[in-house]
Amino acid sequence: MRSLSVGIDIGGTTAKYGIVNEQGEILEQDRISTRAHEDVNQFINDLYDKLMPMINRHGGIGNMKGIGAGAPNGNFNTGTIEYAPNLVWRGIIPMADLMTAKFGLKTLLTNDANAAAVGEMIYGCAKGVKHFITITLGTGVGSGIVIDGKIVVGHDGFAGELGHTIIRKGGRFHKGTGSHGSLESYASATGVRETAFEFLAADPTEPSLLRNYTTEELTSQTVYECAIKGDAIALKVFEFTGEVLGEALANAVMFSSPEMIVLFGGLTKAGDLLMKPTKASMEANLIQVFKNKVRIVYSNLKESDAAILGASALVWS
Amino acid sequence: MRSLSVGIDIGGTTAKYGIVNEQGEILEQDRISTRAHEDVNQFINDLYDKLMPMINRHGGIGNMKGIGAGAPNGNFNTGTIEYAPNLVWRGIIPMADLMTAKFGLKTLLTNDANAAAVGEMIYGCAKGVKHFITITLGTGVGSGIVIDGKIVVGHDGFAGELGHTIIRKGGRFHKGTGSHGSLESYASATGVRETAFEFLAADPTEPSLLRNYTTEELTSQTVYECAIKGDAIALKVFEFTGEVLGEALANAVMFSSPEMIVLFGGLTKAGDLLMKPTKASMEANLIQVFKNKVRIVYSNLKESDAAILGASALVWS
């Protein structure tokens, strides 16, 4: 029958995996450390030992249509993970081939943001939408671009790195890439924190709840908590973040003209604090022909499930 | 047999049209004024009167596979021209339908930059290339994006407006759109001219051949002529133009990961003066995974033919 699929979300710290049915229900899930496995083969062996009993509880290999995996710097064309700075495995890892060989199940791999986009397309708020862009606003900023119902992977499998596009020429330094003014350096959890520090330093006499936190305690979460209490600087941080994000979205809209943009990840907890300035800024930066056409929405997938769902959905799409 | 197609390039001043064979040879061509026809129906009647004898000299309607047309703000999905600021026809013009009805030949329409991309794909240097972007550097800046061998038109038919993406936040004002810092405001013939004025004004004591021209005489062409004579300010103008263009290309590459970028239009006459700083700037703004992968080339299609060829190629693609 092959009515189920396996979804694996490979992150820097852990890999989460689960068995998913076509309705997008995760029937069972678990996790395994990635960081503790310096050798990728050891990782796959340990994953096999934990995942196989789970597969067997759901009808065995013969009931699985395949394995879908999402990973940072995952390449859909080749099934490899290439030079991922956040993973312990260096160089080019032929992850899909290794898993296919070990499990005897066809494995498809893509980058984590593309997997999220597939999840939105199959199970989320982009169901039936042919042209949309998913932006994940987490520790970093990832993106998955869908045109005509297909994920854009480009000639080399690496397309969709909107987080690294330069939005503010000569702007904030990005440690990971050495670039200045990238979207990720502003519109990520890390970026929000840095903006808060900048605003606090720029206006040292203005009272702010944010000043009650140590440098370590101050995170995008604490900025959010202060903002909903009405703290002026915290509110300004989200307004600024939305302004930069909206500029990037406008550029993306003028590129591929999507009908919907789905925002996903930790920062979206900020709700209207982020959504309102983002929408306003996007509209202000669009030329006439694109204005008031593009819906920006927050993902309605549960964050803890979405990565597994998205990865598993590669098998159906 | 239907072995030929008709290509029409509709511009603000004239419409150029011709009969093209599958090898991309223009067998005969002519032009008709657009500006002189305030009523689009009158335009189509006059076009018919001039084009039909040409069609009849090449086997008649029965020998034509169809009509392909490129126009500013042309919408491939609907075959309409919508709110084109440079055309005398206002509002939404159902151009493809009007032509199909008049000629009894299926007419496909797209925007002029997309037509250029189709031309490159079928007859030009992007033959066989599945992922590429065409940028036209003329009075304005247009773009046609090809992913997996298909022109990206987006959900509403208007995708591919890279000329209007913002590259320099808060930068140069664009009269046509009201935006600040768009690619078009720098990397067009108009932009080059404006950069020259800015540089001359910024350094009023530095001698420059450019100062021998009146405001009216100073064009991107005269800047080029001064640059090849070694004029320092003129050279700096092309360096700066390439720098901005390269930034925009880097952002585009991180979006759709093309293997080739084809530059086309008047500014490309500047040759290496523009190409070298463009390449250097693009590479400097790419994250590692995209570096040294993307070829930037100048179109090898004859400029006067390319628009007709590109439009006619819609029929074959």
Residue ranges of domains in chain B: 4-122+304-316, 132-300
CATH architecture of A4-112+305-316: 2-Layer Sandwich (3.30)
Do the Cβ atoms of A309 and A6 come closer than 8 Å?
no
Same fold: B4-122+304-316 with B132-300 = yes
CB A254 to CB B150 under 8 A? no
- In this predicted structure, the answer to whether residue B304 has a pLDDT above a threshold of 80 is no
Q: A1 falls in which pLDDT band (50, 70, 90)?
A: low
* Backbone φ, ψ for residue A207 (5° rounding): -65, 145
Q: List the alpha helices (DSSP H) in chain A.
A: 40-57, 95-103, 112-122, 184-187, 189-202, 220-228, 232-256, 272-285, 303-316
Predicted local distance difference test score (pLDDT) of residue B84: 85
Name the minimum distance, in Å, from the CA of A200 to any CA of chain B: 23
Q: Which of B77, B153, B165, B259 to mutate to test the interface with A (most CBs of A within 10 A)?
A: B165
Of B252, B312, B304, nearest to B138 by C-alpha is B304
Q: Report which secondary-structure segment, H or E, holds B61.
A: none
Q: What is the DSSP string of A34-60?
A: STT-SSHHHHHHHHHHHHHHHHHHTT-
Nearest to B287 among A155, A161, A167 (CB): A161
Q: Give the tens place of pLDDT for each residue, B200-250.
A: 999 999 999 999 999 999 999 999 999 999 999 999 999 999 999 999 999
Q: Which residues make beta-bridge pairs with B4?
A: B21, B64
Residues of A with CB under 8 A from a CB of B: 73, 82-83, 130-131, 145, 147-148, 150, 152-162, 164-169, 177, 179, 247, 250-252, 254-259, 285, 287-290, 293
User: In the structure encoding, which two tokens stand for residue B102, read together?
Assistant: 């008049």
Residue position matching structure tokens 């959905």: A313
Q: Give the tens place of pLDDT for each residue, A4-34.
A: 999 999 988 899 999 999 999 999 999 999 9
Q: Give the tens place of pLDDT for each residue, A168-214.
A: 999 999 998 899 999 999 999 999 999 999 999 999 999 999 999 99
* Cα distances (angstroms) measured from residue A83 to each of A75, A193, B159, B241: 11, 27, 32, 33
Residues of B with CB below 8 A from A83's CB? Answer: 288-289
Round to whole Å and give the CA distance between A180 and B250. Answer: 13
Round to whole Å and give the CA distance between B238 and B246. Answer: 12
CATH node for B4-122+304-316: 3.30.420.40
Q: A303 falls in which pLDDT band (50, 70, 90)?
A: confident
b vs e for B281-301, b when ≥16 Cβ sit within 10 Å of the residue's Cβ? bbbebbbebbeebbebbbbeb
Chain pair A-B, CB pairs under 8 angstroms: 128
User: In the structure encoding, which two tokens stand for residue A143, read together?
Assistant: 């993106």
Q: What is the pTM of this model?
A: 0.92
Do the Cβ atoms of B14 and B32 come closer than 8 Å?
yes
Instruction: Name the CATH superfamily, with its identifier, for domain A132-300.
Output: ATPase, nucleotide binding domain (3.30.420.40)
Predicted local distance difference test score (pLDDT) of residue A317: 73
Do the Cβ atoms of B136 and B114 come closer than 8 Å?
no
The length of chain A is: 317
**So what's the ipTM on this one?**
0.92
CB B247 to CB A155 under 8 A? no
Residues of B with CB below 8 A from A114's CB? Answer: none
Work out the mean pLDDT of chain B and round it to a whole number: 94
Q: Least CA distance to B144: which residue of chain A? A: A255
Residues 6 or more apart in contact with residue A170 via CB below 8 angstroms: A180, A181
Q: In what order do the strands lie in the sheet with A132-137?
A: A150-151, A141-147, A132-137, A260-264, A295-298
Percent of chain B exceeding pLDDT 70 equals: 100
